Amino acid sequence: MNKSRVIVLGIAFVAAIGAALLAKNIVAQPKTKKVVQKEFMNTTHVLVAAKPIKLGDLVSSGHFKWQRWPKDALTSKLIDQASNMNAKADYDKAIARSEFVVGEAINPRKLIKKGTGGVMAALLTSGMRAVSTKIKEETAAGGFIMPDDHVDVILSRQIQGEGRGSKYVSNTVLSNVRVLAIGQTLDQPKGKQTATGRTATLELTPGQAEILMLANKMGDVSLSLRSLSKRDANGDGTITNLRGDNRGTVRMFKFGQKVQAFGM
């Protein structure tokens, strides 16, 4: 064999071994993990509920947390960290006037800060009044009336007839009014289909409040539960002239039509 040929073969053999060793080392090296750093552009932090909050709950700073939020979705109804870093402390011991689910942005209008009034005052629509009336299970739809339902108020009373005898009459004196509470219950008890209590608190206009107080003096008051699907089907049939214009005389009106007139 030619000497030069032997040298070339030797060099090729050595090169092959070197290539094999190099390839082995490359395969044996651990894989490098690529770390992708997320860039949060145009975001801020808003205050959200860290745990479920129920209507009427006394909340603490532990009920809140800061969560990243798109700036484009930031409104005046939300609390952002840049504007109020002490929001957790500010709303400590506040009362919830609405429910919050975990992760829901906190709307300041749904919380009542300490020293600014009770929860019932916060639940009232502007211009309305909270008025309570005595109820019994048999006069309140068997206990199936819940807070936030709508009811009619029926007055039953005994009046003097044309002769010596007397008779009983019933009239709807308030129609389609909202129930704020049954007893001390402000929302539907979890897992229960009925609410018990000796009083029902209704949301009324000032005029309706006077009518209810008079109705309680005149006879027995019962509540009639309205259907959710037909809550507004018949409009507002509130009686607005229960006391009448003449002293000592009560006039009953229903849907604008005179139903009954009698002396007090």
pLDDT on residue 55: 78
Give how far Cα 117 sits from Cα of 53, 61, 123, 131, Å: 19, 20, 11, 17
134 close to 221: Cβ distance less than 8 angstroms: yes
Q: How far apart are CA 64 and CA 89, in angstroms?
A: 10
Whether residue 252 has pLDDT greater than 60? no
Q: How far apart are CA 180 and CA 121, in angstroms?
A: 11
pLDDT on residue 244: 40
Whether residue 230 has pLDDT greater than 60? no
Q: pLDDT for 89-146, tens place per residue?
A: 888 888 887 889 999 999 988 888 766 666 777 777 888 999 988 887 766 666 778 8
Q: How far apart are CA 116 and CA 112, in angstroms?
A: 7
pLDDT on residue 261: 46
pLDDT on residue 203: 92
Q: pLDDT for 168-226, tens place per residue?
A: 888 999 999 998 888 877 666 555 666 667 888 999 999 999 999 999 888 888 888 88
* Residue 140, C-beta contacts closer than 8 angstroms, at least 6 positions apart: 182, 200, 222, 223
Average pLDDT, the chain: 76
197 close to 185: Cβ distance less than 8 angstroms: yes
The domains of the chain, with CATH numbers, are 43-122 (3.90.1210.10), 124-263 (no CATH)
231 close to 175: Cβ distance less than 8 angstroms: no
Give the pair of three-digit tokens for residue 193. 């289909």
pLDDT on residue 135: 82
Q: pLDDT for 13-49, tens place per residue?
A: 767 777 777 666 666 655 556 655 555 568 899 999 9
Please state the rounded mean pLDDT for residues 75-80: 88
Helices assigned H by DSSP within the chain: 3-28, 87-90, 119-123, 206-218
What band does 232 get if pLDDT is binned at 50, 70 and 90? low
What predicted TM-score, i.e. pTM, was given to this entire model?
Answer: 0.53
pLDDT on residue 264: 38
Give how far Cα 228 sits from Cα of 112, 131, 219, Å: 29, 22, 28
Q: How far apart are CA 180 and CA 22, in angstroms?
A: 81
